[in-house]
Amino acid sequence: MATIKDVAKRAGVSVGTVSKVLNGVYVRDANRLKVEEAISQLNYQVNTYARGMKAQFTNTVALILPDLVNPFFALLTNYVEQELFRKNYRMVLCLSSGSFEKEQGYFAAARQNKIDGIIGLTYSDEAEKYVSDDMPLVSIDRYYEAHIPCVTSDNYQGGVIAARHFYRTGCHQVAYFRTGAKTAGSTLERDRGFLETSRELGMECVHMDFGEEPGAQTADQIYQYLQEYQANTSRVVEGIFFSSDDLAVMTVEKLRREGIRIPEDVQIIGYDGLTVLNRGPLYVSSIRQPIQEMARCCVEQVMRVIHHEPAQMLTVLPVEFAEGGTTKPQISGG
């Protein structure tokens, strides 16, 4: 590989001059031309590591996510990579599986300038301790106490929208079934939005937490829960809101197998707005998060922190109702 020295020799200038044209500092036109000529003849490219050692930047951002099995995360990664590339940054991907140990290495790397910044969706409480004020970190969905910019969507409003939809389609008895970590602030907002709005609108609402990881039996448990509730109270649940699409999909399958008609007997609303194979129709009616816009904002904010520009500490993007065939049309507008 050609080095800056080779270029300098070939162009008949000093390495300092070559470095300047490399970094867009002004040099005499004649020299710039000679250098550019030499660069292209030698097919020279700067060695990022040598540069990074001095310059303290590497044009690399790490994205920390639990996994890519969840299509929401896969799509987010897809768009974050595109945005970073547009800004001439590379993306290193860290799938933490929720383990803080794995994340830790990236925090260290950031502190060491081996990566310029981090975009992270992390459920770990421990992370907070490691996050200093000047750490170039943007958090997805989770609002830290520290001065860490956070990009999220309007989870509370997501719950509100779901509750209102049930109300406007004539429901009196609804349910909320959640899953996943309780620490994740954003999901808790969905809970609150739905529960509070249901109460305000005078709907009866039961809710249930099905633990960290929904399994194959979760849909059965939900079915059984509904049966017992009906037997005990003589009340029929007319609308169910889920904290995620996967739980909603599993439940829809189960209920249909049991002969329950959807949406006639019971309406279903999921969360995320995922589509079949990530580009077909929706799986279920859902609250759609603006994934691409979230990705764009994450990159925007991390760039600001990296360049020491003032960042927006909290970005809350709007969500919307997405009709997916498991809900009835609304009676009144809005």
Partner DNA sequence: CTGAAAGCGCTTACAG
Residue 20 touches DNA, criterion: CB under 7 A: yes
Binding residues with DNA: total (CB under 7 A): 28
Identified binder of DNA from the candidate list 9, 51, 114, 207, rule CB under 7 A: 51
Residue 132 touches a copy of itself, criterion: CB under 8 A: no
Residue 133 touches a copy of itself, criterion: CB under 8 A: no
DSSP character string of 145-214: SSS--EEEE-HHHHHHHHHHHHHHTT-SEEEEEE-S-SS-HHHHHHHHHHHHHHHHTT-EEEEEE--SS-
Identified binder of DNA from the candidate list 36, 42, 46, 221, rule CB under 7 A: 46
Which positions from 251 through 280 interact with a copy of itself, judged by CB under 8 A? 253, 274, 276-280
Distance CA 104, CA 96 (A): 10
- Please state the separation of Cα 21 from the chain's center in Å: 39
Tell me how far, at minimum, the Cβ of 91 lies from a copy of itself, in Å.
6
Distance CA 273, CA 39 (A): 49
Which of DNA, a copy of itself, none does residue 233 bind to, with CB < 5 to 8 Å depending on kind?
Answer: none
Distance CA 64, CA 332 (A): 42
Q: Is the CB of residue 106 less than 8 Å from the CB of residue 115? A: yes
At which residue do the structure tokens 């603006």 appear? Answer: 290
Tell me how far, at minimum, the Cβ of 105 lies from a copy of itself, in Å.
9
Structure tokens at 233: 């109270």
Which residues contact DNA by CB under 7 A? 1, 3-5, 12-17, 19-20, 22-23, 26-28, 30-31, 44-47, 50-51, 53-55
Which residues contact a copy of itself by CB under 8 A? 1, 45, 47-50, 52-53, 58, 60, 67-71, 74-75, 77-78, 81-82, 85, 90-95, 102, 108-109, 111-114, 245-246, 249-250, 253, 274, 276-281, 283
